[in-house]
Structures are given as C-alpha cells and as structure tokens.
Amino acid sequence: MTALLEVRDLRKWFAGPRPGPFRPRAKLHAVDGVSFDIQRGEVLSLVGESGSGKTTVGRTVLRLARPDGGTIRFGGTEITSLSRDALRPFRRRMQLVFQDPYASLNPKMTVEEIVGAPLAIHEPAIGTAERRRRVEEALSLVGLLPSHIGRYPHEFSGGQRQRLGIARALILRPELLIADEPVSALDVSVQAQVVNLMLELKERLGLTILFISHDLAVVGHISDRIAVMYLGRLVEVAPTRALFTAPRHPYTEALLSAVPIPDPMVRRERIVLTGDVPSPLNPPSGCPFRTRCRYALPACAEAPPALREMAPGHWKACIRDDIALASPVGVA
C-alpha cells in the first residue's frame, strides 16, 4: 500500500512579536516536527484545541504556506519546495473545505462563478456551456438544485453554503480533500447532514480525507485513524476505536474526558485540566503537555518525547509507560 500523502518532520514558524525595538522577532513554532502518512481512501483526523497547529498543518500540506522544515510528498512526488507554477498540476489533485461557510465564498460571485472557478483556472479551454453543465452536475452531487446556479451566496443557509464549498472542492475530482472544521460552524441538525454527505462522497468518489476538527464526537464517527495534536506536536496517533477505548497519552485521556456526553444518566469522574495551553512563543521544555499533566515527572522536562509505536498502528509521545489511562467509552 502506498501512501497518498507522506509528511515528515514538518515545521512551520511564524514571526512573533519583537521582544525589544532592536531585537530579532521571536519565533512562534506553530508546527514543530509533525510526521504522518495518509493511505489512499483513508480518513485521517487531526484533532486538537485552538493553537495546537492543526490548521497550519492543513494549510502547509496544501502549500498555502511554505514549510520551514521537513518534507511533504504527494502521490510519491516531493512538493515541499515546488514553485507556484510547478505546483499547479498538484493543486487540482488536492482541495480544501473551509470552516466558515460565510467567509469562504466570494459574496460578489454567483454560484456558477464560485463552483466553476476551478474549471476556469484548470480547464480554461472548455466552453461556457460545458462549464455550466459540470457546475450543475457538481451541485446535484452535493444535494443542491441545478437551478441554484445563478444565485449569490447570501441567498443560502449555512448548511447549503457548506455544500457549495464542497461542490467547489470536488468539481475537479481531487484525490485528497483537506476539510478544516467543515461542520463546526453549522447548526447541530445540519452538521449531521454535512457529515453524511462527506462520507457518501468519499465512498462514491474514492476520496482520501484529512479531517481537521476539535469535535471528538464527529471525528469518532468519520475517521479511520486519529492524530492528536498539542502545541504544534503530535502526541498520539491511533486507529479510531483504539484511541477512544484505550487512549495512551494523558492529553488524549483528558480531552476525551472533557467531552460532554448527551446523556444525563452518565455520571463520570472528569479529569479537569488545570490552566491554559502554554504560549507557543514560550513552550515548556521537554514534553509540551507536562505543565498540565497529572502524571508529569521531573524527567518529562528533559527532552520532547518521540512518537513510539506501542501497539500496531498506535503511537504515543509520552515517556510514562507505567500508567493506566481511563476512557469514557470503556472497553468494547
């Protein structure tokens, strides 16, 4: 099996504030050495809280930002430092769906122009009629009416806009779809519609999906594997069921325990993490999670722990192998 996407030791810095008027800018390590593969046809979720760097990973993999270290291979070709022009053929093979269905569609364009934009860019030779036909086809693919083609984004509800965003992403039939919090801005009843749509399209079009989210319930439903990020690093990577039933990193344990379960009969002891995520400008030494970890030892401050494979496909970055972690799900 060959991986569609191979990411190795990806790093991305942003310029932070200057500590003084004549001092160099601080470096903000948004992504600090992240490695993962996505197999063809797989759904891999990237989970983390705000500031964990998950969105930056998505954007950098798409080369919307230039990585400051590491390599990205797509379909066997290294795209880490390709020029804009050299990158163009890859653009049509990987697409992005955004979180905010209001900001991601140009308010001054019609549906035809928005959904047809990828065609205008990558297949400028096709005629207007053909382009319109394919836009209509893409609209019905995502459950919208072909007659919506002349409308403007503000005439649609949030869920419908998200469908438009998906239609735009899929009109060129990409291989990889990066979905950055695609349902978190939607109403609960509409979220389920969009999740169903994405899974259905994945089957029909044979998509590979990198799903970026903070919503563990949705992630648990949609993913084959899950990678948990904290402060720019992966702390745990595992098959979905294994991650939910037997988390191996204390952060995953706390994250799972913090998810409110919609059942008032379930009363569980919750692990409430103290404090906030540390500033990425000044991350803790060693393990990034140690300042909030209830299992932290002095040794945790020494060096950032590497990801180690604890069981087939189950990786964790934690030096404590002697702890038994709880799961809200229990053993199946």
Residues 207-226 that bind other proteins (CB under 8 A): 214, 216-223
State how far the Cα of 176 lies from the Cα of 170, in Å rounded to an integer: 10
Nearer to other proteins by C-beta: 130 or 187? 187
15 class by beta-carbon count within 10 Å (0-12 exposed, 13-18 middle, 19+ buried): exposed
Closer to other proteins by CB, 140 or 306: give it.
140
* Token couple for 51: 């500031």
Nearer to other proteins, 80 or 160 (CB): 160
Tokens of 211: 């799903």
In the complex with other proteins, the residue whose CB is nearer, 188 or 324, is 188
Closest to other proteins by CB, 32 or 180: 180
Q: Which string of x and - marks every residue 255-274 that binds other proteins (by CB under 8 A)?
A: xxxxxxxxxxxx---x-xxx
Among 141, 235, 242, 319, binds other proteins (CB under 8 A): 242
Neighbours of 294 (CB within 10 A): 11
Q: Which of 33, 75, 146, 158 binds other proteins (CB under 8 A)?
A: 158
Task: Report CA-CA distances (Å) from 74 to 32, 53, 67, 157, 168.
Answer: 20, 20, 14, 35, 21
Sequence-distant (≥ 6) Cβ neighbours of residue 209 within 8 angstroms: 42, 43, 44, 176, 177, 178, 179, 198, 202, 222
3-42 positions binding other proteins, by CB under 8 A: none
- Give every CB contact of residue 98 below 8 A, 6+ residues apart in sequence: 104, 165, 180, 182
* Binding piece for other proteins, criterion CB under 8 A, among 25-33, 102-110, 298-306, 312-320: 102-110
Binding test (CB under 8 A) with other proteins, winner from 28, 141, 201, 243:
243
Find the binder of other proteins among 167, 254, 287, 317 (CB under 8 A): 254
Contact between 102 and other proteins by CB under 8 A: the answer reads yes
Give all strands (DSSP E) within 195-312, no chain letters.
Answer: 208-213, 225-230, 233-239, 308-311
Q: Which is nearer to other proteins, 9 or 173 (CB)?
A: 173
Q: CA of 89: how far to CAs of 95, 135, 256, in Å?
A: 12, 21, 40
- Considering the complex, what minimum distance in angstroms separates the CB of residue 195 from other proteins? 6
Q: Pick out residues in 174-203 that bind other proteins (CB under 8 A).
A: 187-193, 195-196, 199
Nearer to other proteins, 2 or 282 (CB): 282
Report the nearest approach of other proteins to the CB of residue 246 (Å): 11
Q: Site map for other proteins, 35-74, x if CB under 8 A?
A: --------------xx--------x--x-x----------
Give the strand pairing for 94-97 and 176-180. parallel
Which of the stretches 19-27, 101-109, 303-311, 318-326 binds other proteins when contact is defined by CB under 8 A?
101-109
What is the sign of the dihedral through the CA atoms of 77, 83, 86 and 90? positive
The DSSP secondary structure of 37-50, one letter per residue, reads: EEETT-EEEEE--T
